[in-house]
Amino acid sequence: MPNNERGFGKKMPIYEYKVKPKYQGCEYCKDSFEIKQKITDSPLEECPKCQSPLEKIVSLFSFKINGYNAKNGYSRK
């Protein structure tokens, strides 16, 4: 069975949203929430629970590129 049929290789980024300033929001969106979306999907504009307007926020994450670890700097080789 090829990897893509088992779900491997189909990674979807996780985006973080929260209610826009000046709006109260609900328990689901007032702090922030994460949702998996395709890169080609349009950003969410409204909370799926209360329909308050949303904004996408920058998530902190750890990644490694060519020996550089965003959390700790360059890794030892």
Note whether residue 68 is domain-resident. Answer: no
48 token code pair = 């799926």
Q: Give the per-residue pLDDT at 1.
A: 46
Q: Range of 24's domain?
A: 1-58
Number of domains in the chain: 1
Measured at the alpha carbon of residue 72, what is the angle toward residues 70 and 75, in degrees to the nearest 5?
95
Which pLDDT score, from 0 to 100, does residue 19 have?
A: 95
- In this prediction, residue 9 carries a pLDDT of 54
Residue 50 lies in a domain: yes
- Tell me, yes or no, whether 74 lies in a domain: no
Q: Which residues of the chain have pLDDT under 70?
A: 1-11, 59-77
Q: Between β-strands 54-57 and 33-36, what pairing exists: parallel, antiparallel or unpaired? A: unpaired
